[in-house]
Amino acid sequence: MLNANLFWTKVRDYQANLLVPPSTGTTFVQVLANVGGVRTRGVESELNFAAGQHLGLRLSASYNDATYTDYRNAPCSAEALLAAGGINPGQGGYTCDLTGHALVGAPKWIVNPGIQYGYSLAASLKATAQADYAWRSTFYGSADDSEFARVPSYGVLNVRWGLEGGSSHHTWGVALWSKNVLDKRYVLGGLATAGALYNYSETPGEPRTYGVTAQVTL
């Protein structure tokens, strides 16, 4: 089964957390502000394939061309401020025109493949094994499109093995799972706090985790 769609969206007065250059001192100020116009366009698709009685394959993917259509008074990136000679306290700093540049936090490509295999151990006992991979292409982690805040592409692998049993009146299940089983080191993007002059702060992704989930229906 294949599902796909095209999209084209325009947003006015898009909002984001920005680091604004200070009028005095050397510490940026974080504010929630309108960044002007934004346009996103692309394609989304989802494929599910039953490769036999027990094996299922799935793949979802999207391409998103997200850009600023009106962002003429954007805050400047650290490298742009350095190229302009730094901040002049008391003069409000500098602004940059990011119209036509990539939208913050929007990777162009997202690809999520997955596989699932289910099999019976007894008449009322079923086991299921599955693995899912989530991949993102590179994107900017700050609204000024600084190369210092660019988030590299990354992929995270999650696995799960579950056991289910019971009768028509009572069911139970237990699952062993691991998120980020390969312990990939990555960042989520986005500025966590306002930083000192020319500094950016990123949020790390979750490390490898294990867990057990159990459920009973009475």
List per-block mean pLDDT (blocks of 10 residues) for the chain, which spans 218 residues: 97 79 65 86 97 93 96 82 63 74 94 95 90 96 86 96 88 95 88 59 90 93
**pLDDT value of residue 218:** 82
Structure confidence at residue 43 (pLDDT): 98
Cβ–Cβ under 8 Å, residues 114 and 155 = no
Walk me through the domains of the chain, giving residue ranges and CATH numbers.
2-217 (2.40.170.20)
Are residues 113 and 55 in contact, defined by beta-carbon separation less than 8 angstroms?
Answer: no
- pLDDT of amino acid 51: 87
> Could you tell me the two tokens for 8?
């084209």
Q: Minimal CA–CA distance to 156: which of 211, 111, 217, 93?
A: 111
Identify the pLDDT of residue 190: 62
Which pLDDT value is given to residue 114? 97
**Cβ neighbours of residue 143 closer than 8 Å, sequence gap 6 or more:** 16, 17, 18, 35, 74, 75, 104
Q: Give me 77's structure tokens.
A: 């990136």
pTM of the prediction?
Answer: 0.82
